Amino acid sequence: MPYNKNAFDALRILLCLFVFVSHGYLLAGIDDTEPLKVFSKGQVNLGNIGVAAFFALSGFLITASFTRTANPLRFLYNRVLRILPGFWACLLVTAFILAPAMHYLNNATFANFNFLQPGGSLSFVKNNALLSIGQWGVSDATAKSYYQASINGSLWSL
């Protein structure tokens, strides 16, 4: 692959860091102190800017990729190969490493953690494997967390 002299990768990393920092404030329960949210008097935060700009930039990059591909089916095939393996790896790590670790940290035991039952790790992977998020949590891994709505809320963006 030829070397590109543009800064798209650096910009994408910066935008991801905006989201990462913003989510850190949210997960810690102190999102009202996030710097851009304070500066804008609650109108916007780093996460909003990061997600909007990242999607806009990705739209340009995906469109450029589409125009370089002669066959639309080949483009779709390439997109699937680019997205699904990483998505599946993320699902597996979330379901079988992150969720049990969170459960253990909250309860000091693995007892009562669901690996195979409905709402557990296996159903999390099965219910989300085709990019349609059908299950946001795994067992009770987030039960004692400040933010309980999702164990990996960024999955929808893939």
pLDDT tens for residues 105-144? 888 888 889 899 899 999 999 999 998 889 999 988 888 8
Q: What is the DSSP letter of 29?
A: T
Q: Is the pLDDT of residue 1 over 60?
A: no
Beta-carbon contacts of 130 under 8 Å, excluding residues fewer than 6 positions away, are none
Same domain, 98 and 143: yes
What's the pTM? 0.78
- CA–CA separation, 47 and 31 (whole Å): 11
Range of the domain at 88: 80-158
First CA to last CA distance, the chain:
24
- The tally of domains found in the chain comes to 2
Helix axes 72-93, 121-128, angle to 10 degrees: 170
Same domain, 13 and 48: yes
CB-CB contact of 95 with 121 (8 Å) = yes
- Segment 81-109 mean pLDDT: 92
Is there a domain that residue 73 lies in?
Answer: no
Same domain, 5 and 34: yes
| Token pair 């340009």 in the structure block, residue | 60
The Cα-based distances of 48 to 20, 51, 140, 153, 157 in angstroms read 11, 5, 28, 14, 13
Q: What is residue 28's predicted lDDT score, i.e. its pLDDT?
A: 81
